[in-house]
Amino acid sequence: MSKGNLTISEMREADHQFLLDIWHIPQVMQYADEFPRLRGWSKSDDFHVAWSVYQRKRVKLGKNYTQLILWFDENTPIGESFFAPLNEGYKFGKWEKPDNVISLMGDIKLLPQYWGRGLGSKGIKLVIRFVFTKTSCELFVVPPHRLNPAASRVYDKVGFIPFTGMRSWRNHKIMEMTRKRYNEIYK
Ligand SMILES: CC(C)(COP(=O)(O)OP(=O)(O)OC[C@H]1O[C@@H](n2cnc3c(N)ncnc32)[C@H](O)[C@@H]1OP(=O)(O)O)[C@@H](O)C(=O)NCCC(=O)NCCS
């Protein structure tokens, strides 16, 4: 377990360069796809496009649509997490968003030099707390790649339950955490 304090904050304009940097590291992106354009902007967009799309979506969706930055010892950005709401009728292979249940999909990415020290697990716990205390999420889902055991392990360790109705879709699985489960584990 890594010593040092891990915190999260909502993205500010100045954090965009860090996001671009981390998204251009092939090791980080090897198993990380964006489903399907949840963010509405991506690593290929220039800063002004990205920031204005982000602001527009925030106005419409509030904190249910949030880009987070993970900080080590307050001042070193070491990772990011993003989540967004899924529309009614959303399907991910055989997994379907339950009707009328506010469902967010998200993930977490860290700079490779920080992997394997327990920080991914610590970080996603902070994200889970944020999701269930600051948003109206009732179901939080994550889509780890089937060849990415570190991601599945991290999500499993912090309480996500694998959806067993399909093996994978486009090589990704679904793992779920309901608000009820959050209340049981985290409160
Ligand atoms: C996924 C990610 C956030 C994990 O971060 P991390 O800081 O290494 O996570 P932790 O150290 O808390 O835990 C990693 C766990 O995975 C396990 N693990 C790592 N590689 C593994 C492998 N090849 N096979 C099996 N387990 C593995 C570790 O043993 C550890 O489990 P343990 O605590 O039971 O020993 C990090 O690898 C990452 O940023 N990857 C790139 C982006 C990405 O793919 N994100 C997921 C998108 S869904």
* pLDDT tops 80 at residue 93: yes
User: Which atom of ligand 1 lies nearest, measured to the CA of 142?
Assistant: 48
pTM beyond cutoff 0.75: yes
Within a domain: 63: yes
pLDDT (tens digit, 9 = 90+) per residue, 130-180? 999 999 999 999 999 999 999 999 999 999 999 999 999 999 999 999 999
| Cα separation values, 14 from 8, 48, 108, 123, 158, Å | 15, 12, 20, 21, 30
User: Which atom of ligand 1 lies nearest, measured to the CA of 124?
Assistant: 3
Question: How far does residue 55's CA lie from ligand 1's centre (Å)?
Answer: 31
Q: What is residue 142's predicted lDDT score, i.e. its pLDDT? A: 97
What letter represents residue 135's amino acid? T
Q: Is 62 left (phi over 0), alpha (psi -120 to 50) or beta?
A: left
Within a domain: 1: no
Domain count, the chain: 1
Within a domain: 173: yes
Question: pLDDT over 90 for what percent of the chain?
Answer: 82
* pLDDT tops 80 at residue 75: yes
Within a domain: 11: yes
Mutate to test the pocket of ligand 1, among 1, 31, 34, 110 (most ligand atoms within 8 A of CB): 110
Helix or strand (DSSP H, E) at 177: strand 175-178
| Cα separation values, 146 from 7, 47, 53, 68, 80, Å | 28, 32, 31, 24, 21
* pLDDT tops 60 at residue 1: no
Question: How far does residue 59's CA lie from ligand 1's centre (Å)?
Answer: 34
Q: What is the mean pLDDT of the chain?
A: 94
Report the alpha-carbon distance of residue 85 to residue 96 in Å, rounded: 13
Reference 39, options 71, 21, 16; nearest CA is 16
- Backbone φ, ψ for residue 143 (5° rounding): -115, 70
Q: Give me the residues paired with residue 6 across strands.
A: 72
Q: What angle do CA 173, 86, 19 make, to 5 degrees?
A: 75
pLDDT band (50, 70, 90) for residue 118: very high
Domain limits for position 152: 6-186
User: Which atom of ligand 1 lies nearest, measured to the CA of 122?
Assistant: 12
Question: How far does residue 165's CA lie from ligand 1's centre (Å)?
Answer: 24
Domain with 55 in it: what CATH number?
Answer: 3.40.630.30
* pLDDT tops 80 at residue 35: no
pLDDT band (50, 70, 90) for residue 36: low
Q: Which residue ranges have their beta carbon within 6 Å of ligand 1?
A: 28, 31-32, 107-110, 115-121, 142-144, 148-151, 153-154
Within a domain: 178: yes
The residue-averaged pLDDT of 84-92 equals 97
User: Read out DSSP for 1-64?
Assistant: ---S-EEEEE--GGGHHHHHHHHT-HHHHTT---GGGSSS--TTS-HHHHHHHHHHHHHHHGGG
E strands, 22-166, in order: 66-72, 76-85, 91-92, 95-96, 103-110, 139-142, 161-162
Question: How far does residue 119's CA lie from ligand 1's centre (Å)?
Answer: 9
Q: What is residue 42's predicted lDDT score, i.e. its pLDDT? A: 80
What is the residue whose two structure tokens read 């304090």?
A: 5
pLDDT (tens digit, 9 = 90+) per residue, 42-56? 877 788 888 999 999
The residue-averaged pLDDT of 56-74 equals 95
Question: How far does residue 109's CA lie from ligand 1's centre (Å)?
Answer: 10
Question: pLDDT over 70 for what percent of the chain?
Answer: 97
User: Which atom of ligand 1 lies nearest, measured to the CA of 28?
Assistant: 41
